[in-house]
Amino acid sequence: QVQLVESGGGLVQAGGSVRLSCAASGLTVGSYVMGWFRQAPGKEREFVAVISWSGGSTYYGDSVKGRFTISRNNAKNTVYLQMNSLKPEDTALYYCAATSAPWVRVQVTTGREYDYWGQGTQVTVSS
């Protein structure tokens, strides 16, 4: 059974940093493109970041570009999201997801292309 378990969320002040982790079981992270999405109350799910199988390529959502960094450790079967210079508008439930889709931007930045999802971890940024 595939499980993606996010951790590292919490309450942080604006301008602060948080590192999210996504630990996978029942799935070999190195065989999947791994992404992070977020959803704030009353808003649609938003693409945050995605990383290719080897970690050599990434895409970021416009709202987080330059502030967030996605990385992966295939040996630990874990994906990370380093979030810096946090803003109150970054407040959301953050989800980790895995897809077997090819490395095509329009596909790997779209939630419906993802096969597996975690339960999410809440990040709240106070002003």
Measuring CA to CA, how many Å separate 113 from each of 6, 8, 106, 110?
19, 25, 10, 6
pLDDT value of position 84: 98
Q: Pseudo-torsion of CA 111, 114, 118, 123, nearest 10°? A: -30
Q: Pseudo-torsion of CA 1, 81, 12, 23, nearest 10°? A: 20
Low-confidence residues in the chain, pLDDT < 50: none
pLDDT value of position 7: 98
pLDDT value of position 55: 86
